[in-house]
Chain A
Amino acid sequence: KAGVTQTPRYLIKTRGQQVTLSCSPISGHRSVSWYQQTPGQGLQFLFEYFSETQRNKGNFPGRFSGRQFSNSRSEMNVSTLELGDSALYLCASSLGFQRSSTDTQYFGPGTRLTVL
């Protein structure tokens, strides 16, 4: 099976712009989670989507939003970019059925966003 793919891999934007990142999960996986990784804050949970619905949300401002399509692919959008949004954005996919508390998340390679 192909792994989790993320596009683009690298992105440079300027303050005030908006950006959309894409994540394609492993075939058959219905849950997609997004994480932000920075040197200062480490890995922080943004949100999780399952069957096109946001199921869990982290503590990020409303400028960060996401969605999931019927084929489980997910996009994340950040509006009005700030310098502090520079980070590695990682998505992870899993089967998504909560009855299994040991459902493993598989991570993509990430999108490196630089805000100038």
Chain B
Amino acid sequence: SQQGEEDPQALSIQEGENATMNCSYKTSINNLQWYRQNSGRGLVHLILIRSNEREKHSGRLRVTLDTSKKSSSLLITASRAADTASYFCATDRRGGSNYKLTFGKGTLLTVNP
């Protein structure tokens, strides 16, 4: 079963707007990661946030983590058409292996020019 569940399943915005995607998970984790996947291609690692961190920034990306609610959000600011992709959160279960990631089903983001 999926550990992470992204919300919404699909999101369509205009270029320049911000995009927020959410991820919920079920068990305690070591880390939570966000990946991007362009249509039918490999995944690109975006950002990793540790379970003892609350917020992390990388360029136009901002990730928050609330372990009490078992949820995370990914914010992409000033979106561009090139940000059009599917975004996945992935977790590694606490006490488990960080090489056995559990992915959500993803949010399909469409940025319209």
- A residues near B (Cβ < 8 Å) are 4, 31, 33, 35, 42-45, 48, 50, 55-56, 58, 88, 90, 92, 94, 96, 98, 101-110, 112
Closest chain-B Cβ to A57's Cβ sits at a distance in Å of 8
Q: Report if B45 contacts A (CB, 8 A).
A: yes
Interface string of B71-113 (1 = CB under 8 A from A): 0000000000000000010101000011111111110000000
Bound Cα distance from A105 to B31, whole angstroms: 13
User: By the criterion CB–CB under 8 Å, are B42 and A108 in contact?
Assistant: yes
| Top 5 A-B residue pairs of the complex, sorted by shortest distance between their CB atoms | A43-B103, A107-B42, A107-B43, A42-B105, A109-B42
Q: Report if B11 contacts A (CB, 8 A).
A: no
User: By the criterion CB–CB under 8 Å, are A96 and B99 in contact?
Assistant: yes
Bound Cα distance from A42 to B3, whole angstroms: 11
- B residues near A (Cβ < 8 Å) are 2, 30-31, 33, 35, 40-45, 48, 50, 88, 90, 92, 97-106
Beyond A33-B99, A105-B45: 11 further Cβ-contacts under 8 Å?
Answer: A31-B99, A48-B97, A48-B100, A50-B99, A92-B43, A98-B98, A101-B31, A101-B92, A102-B50, A110-B40, A110-B42
User: By the criterion CB–CB under 8 Å, are B103 and A55 in contact?
Assistant: no
Nearest-CB residue, chain B, relative to A48: B99
Residues of chain A within 8 A (CB-CB) of B48 are 102, 104
In the complex with contacts A42-B105, A104-B48, A33-B42 CB distance below 8 A: no
Residues of chain B within 8 A (CB-CB) of A50 are 99
